[in-house]
């Protein structure tokens, strides 16, 4: 495969010493994986045997901000199917089997298809994209994702003119997941078709240059960086194109608290807490939250003329 | 040969003053363990990705736990006849306040970092913070009037009336927790059920008492009210 290289290397593209050290440490840990597992060490080590994602295309859609350490990205997760404490998914998600895996794409498309993992990996060259992630709970991270634009997958199934929305359904496997009715399972999310086709909207298969750990939504998840984190559905098994706005799990659970759009917006508070500021994981002081999580230049035009207080 | 006094039967119902003192020291040390574990985790960098959230949740959890433990003293004493439990109640109540101060302090210093505007807006606009703040403020007079001198100054009846506000404070505390969780109310539900049992027992006993008195009226009106005062002065 021919990899196009940028003419010159920007400082943001150089692996930071912290990241380099973190990976070295991770590899060292992985080497001692058997011993650590025997001692009940972190289950993320299971992911250390993950396949290499190969050479990654550098993406212009990257922010030049310090990365959140890998251990925080992989041990502080909201993945309620594996427990509602943020430490739970890293402990429990290893029970999920992510290979073989298929994603069924159906609904208002010309060529409905079921993709297996190999086909998904071949849809487009894998890119590394460093995105901000802003959780609705007012904390944030900076994560180096590996993935490809969702638009590549959608183009492959040829959406019909009548398709206006895209629904995403996550895996729900009661054998390995927490079955308490905290949300209406399976987890469902949705985007407008133009949002789904936006070049920033990513299907992620990895982070920090390696396959996604299960707790981060392996093997394939959505990443929509200008929306609150819960919009970025994990471990996707079905994608459905529809003409009506789909129901989404959090919107169903709290219609007044979690809107369908859920664009990051410092001016529209969650009814129970302020969204004006956020705590970047690793920072002591909070920072101001940016409209559309700092991606306003790229995405605000999609919402021109809309009342963002009403369509929160 | 002189007769030695027969050893007192070691009854758990009536502990010697020495044993009660030892028990107080033990309870004091045990009550500091949650703080100790938190400090240990802090110094070993084991508080996780969001240490401030971890500290906020831990101190909040322990405030509620100590509040429920304190409220369990009277029912337990009634059910077991271990009257010395009452002698631990003040310390447990003050540890409730201690963890509440840590919880509130974490919010003001670590979470908001003295952003008073944000604090005031939170208290006014966020119902879960409003009730949490109210619960904390209402705990202050109880902590202040916990000394023997204050009990004497207020008089038993007034002191007791004031300290009954702890029932309402406990409800506010559980509501504070219930309203802040996003979807999984399992943990606050457990606290709510325990509190319901602790308050329900009191209501039940009170009703029983009322019925008993109705069946056999006391000889005088004053006798009735005097009979309801529980000596709370610890030694």
What does the pLDDT read at residue B10? 59
Q: Would you say A262 and A228 are in contact if contact means Cβ atoms under 8 Å apart? A: yes
- The verdict on ipTM greater than 0.90 is no
pLDDT recorded at residue A53: 86
R_g over Cα of chain B: 21
Q: What does residue A49 show for φ and ψ, rounded to 5 degrees?
A: -85, 5
Q: Span A78-89, mean pLDDT?
A: 96
Q: What is the pLDDT of residue B215?
A: 86
Question: pLDDT digits over A19-60, tens only?
Answer: 555 554 444 444 444 444 444 444 444 444 456 688 899 888
pLDDT of residue A303: 98
Nearest CA in chain B to A71: B49
Residue A50 annotated as lining a ligand binding site = no
Residue A221 known to bind ligand: yes
A264: region left, alpha or beta (phi > 0 left; psi from -120 to 50 alpha): beta
pLDDT at B138 > cutoff 60: yes
Q: How many helices (H) and strands (E) does chain B have?
A: 10, 0
pLDDT (tens digit per residue) in B24-81: 999 999 999 999 999 999 999 999 999 999 999 999 999 999 999 999 999 999 999 9
pLDDT of residue B95: 98
Residue A287 β-bridge partners:
A278
Average per-residue pLDDT in chain B? 89
A7 pLDDT higher than 50: no
Q: Which domains, ranges and CATH numbers included, belong to chain A? A: 50-255 (3.90.420.10)
The percent of residues in chain A predicted with pLDDT above 90, rounded, is: 80
Residue in B with minimal Cα distance to A69: B49
How many other C-beta atoms can be found within 10 angstroms of the C-beta atom of residue B8? 8
Please indicate whether, in this complex, the C-beta atoms of B184 and A80 are within 8 angstroms of each other: yes
State the angle between helix axes of B156-163 and B165-180 in degrees (0 to 180), rounded to the nearest 10.
10
The span from the CA of B186 to the CA of B171, in Å, is: 16
Question: Is residue A264 a contact partner of residue A308, using CB atoms and an 8 Å limit?
Answer: no
- pLDDT tier, B11 (very low <50, low <70, confident <90, very high otherwise): confident
Give the CB-side neighbour count of residue A27, counting CA atoms within 13 A.
Answer: 9
Q: What is the pLDDT of residue B48?
A: 93
Evaluate if residue B226 carries a pLDDT over 50.
no
Q: Which residues of B touch A182 (CB under 8 A)?
A: 183-184
| Euclidean distance between CA atoms A220 and A117, whole angstroms | 9
Contact A145, A223 (CB under 8 A): yes
Is there a binding annotation on residue A235?
A: no
pLDDT category at A227 given cuts 50, 70, 90 is: very high
- pLDDT score, position A44: 46
The answer to whether B49 contacts A253, with C-beta atoms less than 8 Å apart, is no
Question: On the CB side of B205, how many CA atoms lie within 13 Å of its CA?
Answer: 13
DSSP 8-class letter at B117: H
Predicted pLDDT at A27: 46
pLDDT averaged over chain A?
88
Residue by residue, what is the 3-state secondary structure of chain B?
CCCCCCCCCCCCCCCCHHHHHHHHHHHHHHHHHHHHHHHHHHHCCCCCCCHHHHHHHHHHHHHHHHHHHHHHHHHHHHHHCCHHHHHHHHHHHHHHHHHHHHHHHHHHHHHCCCCHHHHHHHHHHCHHHHHHHHHHHHHHHHHHCCCHHHHHHHCHHHHHHHHCHHHHHHHHHHHHHHHHCCCCCHHHHHHHHHHHHHHHHHHHHHHHHHHHHHHCCCCCHHHHHHHCCCCCCCC
pLDDT at A8 exceeding the cut of 70: no
Residue pair A78/A154 in contact by the 8 Å Cβ criterion: no
The rounded percent of chain A whose pLDDT value lies above 70 is 83
pLDDT digit string, tens, across residues A163-216: 999 999 999 999 999 989 999 999 999 999 999 999 999 999 999 999 999 999
- A-chain residues within 8 Å CB-CB of B50? 76, 86, 139, 279, 281
CB within 8 Å: B50 and A285: no
> Among A135, A128, A103, A106, which residue's Cα sits nearest to residue A116?
A103
Chain A contacts to B (CB-CB under 8 A): 68, 71-72, 75-76, 80, 84, 86-87, 137, 139, 180, 182-183, 250, 253-254, 269, 272-274, 277, 279, 281-282, 284-286
Q: pLDDT tens-digit profile of A138-162? A: 999 999 999 999 999 999 999 999 9
Asked if B122 and A274 come within 8 Å (Cβ–Cβ), the reply is yes
Indicate yes or no: CB of B183 within 8 angstroms of CB of A87: no
Give the model's pLDDT for residue A13: 54
* Residue B178 near residue B188, CB atoms below 8 Å: yes
Q: Do B50 and A139 touch (CB under 8 A)?
A: yes
Give A16's pLDDT tier (boundaries 50, 70, 90).
low
* Maximum average pLDDT range among A40-49, B114-123, B209-218, B225-234: B114-123
CB–CB contact B180 A272 (8 Å): yes
Of A88-102, B186-200, B214-228, give the lowest mean pLDDT range: B214-228
Counting one residue from A and one from B, how many pairs have CB atoms under 8 Å apart?
A: 52
Residue A52 is predicted with a pLDDT of 67
């Amino acid at each position: 495969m021919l990899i196009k290289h940028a003419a010159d290397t920007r400082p943001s593209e150089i692996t930071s010493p912290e990241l380099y050290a973190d990976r070295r440490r991770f590899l060292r840990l992985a080497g001692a994986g058997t011993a650590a597992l025997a001692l009940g060490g972190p289950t993320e080590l299971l992911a250390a045997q993950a396949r290499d994602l190969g050479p990654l295309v550098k993406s212009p859609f990257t922010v030049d901000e310090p990365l959140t350490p890998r251990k925080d990205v992989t041990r502080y997760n909201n993945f309620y199917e594996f427990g509602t404490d943020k430490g739970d998914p890293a402990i429990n998600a290893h029970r999920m089997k992510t290979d073989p895996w298929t994603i069924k794409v159906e609904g208002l498309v010309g060529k409905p298809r079921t993709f297996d993992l190999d086909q998904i990996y071949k849809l487009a060259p894998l890119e590394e994209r460093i995105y901000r992630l802003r959780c609705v709970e007012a904390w944030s991270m900076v994560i180096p994702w590996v993935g490809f634009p969702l638009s590549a997958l959608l183009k492959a199934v040829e959406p019909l003119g009548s398709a206006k929305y895209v629904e995403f359904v996550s895996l729900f496997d009661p054998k390995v997941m927490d079955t308490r009715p905290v949300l209406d399972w399976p987890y469902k999310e949705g985007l407008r078709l133009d949002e789904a086709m936006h070049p920033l909207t990513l299907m992620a298969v990895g982070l920090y240059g390696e396959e996604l750990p299960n707790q981060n939504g392996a093997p394939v998840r959505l990443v929509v960086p200008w929306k609150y984190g819960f919009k970025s559905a994990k471990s996707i098994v079905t994608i459905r194109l529809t003409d009506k706005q789909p129901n989404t799990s959090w919107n169903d659970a709290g219609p007044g608290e979690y809107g369908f759009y859920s664009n990051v917006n410092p001016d529209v508070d969650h009814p129970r807490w302020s969204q004006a500021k956020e705590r970047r994981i690793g920072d002591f002081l909070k920072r101001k939250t940016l409209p559309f999580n700092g991606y306003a230049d790229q995405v605000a035009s999609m919402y021109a003329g809309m009342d963002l207080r009403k369509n929160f | 040969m002189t007769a030695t006094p027969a050893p007192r039967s070691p009854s758990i119902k009536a502990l010697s003053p020495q044993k009660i003192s030892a028990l107080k020291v033990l309870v004091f040390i045990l009550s500091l363990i949650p703080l100790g574990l938190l400090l240990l985790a802090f110094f070993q960098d084991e508080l996780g990705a969001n240490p401030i959230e971890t500290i906020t949740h831990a101190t909040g959890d322990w405030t509620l736990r100590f509040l429920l433990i304190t409220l369990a003293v009277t029912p337990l004493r009634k059910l077991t006849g271990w009257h010395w439990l009452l002698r631990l109640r003040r310390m447990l109540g003050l540890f409730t306040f201690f963890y509440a101060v840590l919880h509130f302090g974490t919010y003001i210093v670590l979470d908001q970092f003295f952003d008073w505007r944000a604090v005031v807006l939170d208290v006014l606009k966020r119902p879960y913070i409003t009730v949490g703040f109210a619960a904390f403020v209402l705990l202050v007079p109880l902590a202040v009037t916990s000394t023997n001198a204050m009990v004497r100054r207020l008089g038993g009846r007034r002191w007791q009336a004031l300290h009954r506000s702890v029932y309402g404070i406990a409800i506010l505390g559980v509501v504070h927790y219930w309203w802040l969780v996003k979807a999984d109310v399992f943990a606050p539900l457990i606290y709510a059920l325990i509190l319901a049992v602790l308050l329900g027992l009191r209501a039940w006993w009170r009703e029983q008492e009322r019925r008993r008195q109705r069946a056999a009226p006391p000889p005088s009106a004053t006798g009735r009210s005097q009979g309801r005062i529980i000596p709370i002065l610890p030694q």
